[in-house]
């Protein structure tokens, strides 16, 4: 079909059109993904107390806004789960490079808040940056495609998510066959080598609709010469790996489990790494490291909750003028129910 072709050099224009009317950049668009994989601006230098006091109101507001923006960003720490996912993913990409069919894939599975999305997006970022370094002047490549499975997804909805990432127009009159053919064509033409599918738990093979979604993903994995990486909540305990369709998935995909972190040296390192990113005037280095056991009990060993608690406390410290994080300010940050429901015995699960 000719309808799937996008002229080289026009991919950015098409993707830009797809996100112009959105409230913000999203990973599920090509432009949003490219922005995610671009190096963020350097953090502002922390001023001395005297220099801060000498700022006029406008300069002070601008400086504080830069610090607030810095703390609002999710700092990615290279946990053992992230490193393992990136290593396994890179290995699979190489093994699948010359495979004609039956390509192997990866499933990252575990409770909510244990870093599944961080792990697969870091793998995607590593693949994207490697591809750019190998093809520095290419403007017609989309090495990574990232989608999330919508709740109560249908096969057409999933095909539409692929199309939207690529900047293809999705109209009510667009049928699923045309969408799928266009997606396969563009992914082949633009050398897509890695496809990330998040929120896989939104698929249930117990229903006909869910089975059709699984078949659609299988069709894409067979037609697009790429490595497929899935992520979802407790996939190994769902029906996605049972029955005929489930056995096909289980036979081709390696499972990487995620879980809350135990209180150990890695947890202490995570706290220290996050503390090193703070830009607060009155914060004493080592304060958070001294609270690492409390932080583990407070968050249940959930890396997502840990990041949220520290970043939230840092933002409050700037807004209130306290410029420091204490146990009380961390306790004041509301966390998700999953993190607070974890047993705080210090052992965790890995």
Per-residue pLDDT, averaged over 319-347, amounts to 79
Residues 334 and 204 reside in one and the same domain: no
Do 211 and 316 belong to one domain? no
Identify whether the C-beta of residue 44 lies closer than 8 Å to the C-beta of residue 67. Answer: yes
Mean pLDDT confidence for 79-85? 94
What total number of domains does the chain contain? 2
With a CB cutoff of 8 Å and minimum separation 6, the contacts of 317 are: 280, 283, 323, 324, 325, 329
On whether both 221 and 109 belong to a single domain, the answer is yes
Q: What is the pTM of this model?
A: 0.85
Higher-confidence residue: 121 or 75?
A: 121
Would residue 63 count as lying in a domain? Answer: no
The tokens for 270 are: 């995570």
**Do 196 and 301 share a domain, yes or no?**
no
How high is the pLDDT of residue 340?
Answer: 62
Instruction: Provide the token pair at 226.
Output: 């790429």
- Confidence (pLDDT) at 226: 96
Which of 257, 285, 312 is the last residue before a domain boundary? 257
pLDDT recorded at residue 14: 36
pLDDT for residue 336 is more than 60: yes
Sign of the Cα pseudo-torsion (183, 186, 189, 194, in order): negative
Q: How would residue 349 be classed by pLDDT, with cut points 50, 70 and 90?
A: very low
Rounded distance, CA 139 to CA 131, Å?
Answer: 12
Residue numbers of the domain that contains 284: 261-340
Residue 51 is assigned to a structural domain of this protein: no
With 90 as the cut, is the pLDDT of residue 260 above it? yes
Q: Which of 22-31, 217-226, 239-248, 281-290 has the lowest mean pLDDT?
A: 22-31
In a domain, 27, yes or no: no
Query: Is residue 196 helix, strand or coil?
Result: strand
Helix 57-72 vs helix 303-320: crossing angle, to nearest 10: 170
Name the nearest CA neighbour of 142 among 120, 159, 167, 160. Answer: 167
Tell me if 90 sits within 8 A of 229, measured CB to CB. Answer: no
- Mean pLDDT, the chain, rounded, equals 87
- What span, in angstroms and rounded, lies between the C-alpha atoms of 230 and 210? 16
Instruction: Verify that 220 and 100 share a domain, yes or no.
Output: yes
Q: Is 300 within a domain?
A: yes
Q: Is residue 348 domain-resident? A: no
Whether 1 has a pLDDT exceeding 90, the answer reads no
From 257, 292, 314, the end of a domain falls on 257
Centroid of chain to Cα 293: 27
Q: Is-contact 68 60, C-beta < 8 A?
A: no
- 190 shares a domain with 162: yes
Tell me what the mean pLDDT of segment 320-329 comes to: 95
- Angle, vertex CA 194, rays to CA 186 and CA 88, nearest 5: 170
pLDDT-derived band at 12, boundaries 50, 70, 90:
very low
Specify if 32 maps to a domain. Answer: no
- My answer on whether 203 and 327 are in the same domain is no
Residues 159 and 270 reside in one and the same domain: no
Q: Are residues 241 and 284 in the same domain?
A: no
pLDDT mean over 285-298: 95
Can you tell me whether residue 302 is helix, strand or coil? coil
Residue 231 and residue 90 share a domain? yes
pLDDT band at 338 (very low <50, low <70, confident <90, very high): low
């Amino acid at each position: 079909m000719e309808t799937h072709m996008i002229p080289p050099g026009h991919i950015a224009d098409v993707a830009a059109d797809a996100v112009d009317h959105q409230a913000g950049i999203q990973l599920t668009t090509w432009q949003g993904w490219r922005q995610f994989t671009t190096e963020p601006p350097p953090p502002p230098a922390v001023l001395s107390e005297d220099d801060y006091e000498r700022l006029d109101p406008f300069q002070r507001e601008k400086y504080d806004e830069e610090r607030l923006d810095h703390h609002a960003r999710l700092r990615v720490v290279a946990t053992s789960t992230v490193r393992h996912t990136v290593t396994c993913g890179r290995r699979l990409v190489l093994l699948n490079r010359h495979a004609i069919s039956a390509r192997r894939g990866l499933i990252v599975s575990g409770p909510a808040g244990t870093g599944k999305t961080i792990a697969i997006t870091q793998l995607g970022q590593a693949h994207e940056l490697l591809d750019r370094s190998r093809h520095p002047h290419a403007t017609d490549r989309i090495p990574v495609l990232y989608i999330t499975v919508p709740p109560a997804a249908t096969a057409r909805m999933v095909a539409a998510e692929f199309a939207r990432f690529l900047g293809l127009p999705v109209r009510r009159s667009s049928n699923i066959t045309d969408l799928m053919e266009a997606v396969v064509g563009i992914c082949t033409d633009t050398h897509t080598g890695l496809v990330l599918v998040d929120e896989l738990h939104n698929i249930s093979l117990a229903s006909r609709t869910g089975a059709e979604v699984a078949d659609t993903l299988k069709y894409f994995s067979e037609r697009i010469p790429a490595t497929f990486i899935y992520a979802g909540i407790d996939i190994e305990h769902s029906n996605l790996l049972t029955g005929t369709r489930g056995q096909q998935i289980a036979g081709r995909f390696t499972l990487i489990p995620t879980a809350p972190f135990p209180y150990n040296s890695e947890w202490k390192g995570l706290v220290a790494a996050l503390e090193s990113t703070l830009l607060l005037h009155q914060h004493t280095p080592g304060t958070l490291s001294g609270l690492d056991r409390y932080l583990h009990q407070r968050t249940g060993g959930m890396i997502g909750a840990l990041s949220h608690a520290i970043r939230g406390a840092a933002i409050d410290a700037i807004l209130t003028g306290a410029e420091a994080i204490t146990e009380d300010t961390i306790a004041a940050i509301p966390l998700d129910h999953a993190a607070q429901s974890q047993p705080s015995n210090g052992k965790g699960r890995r």
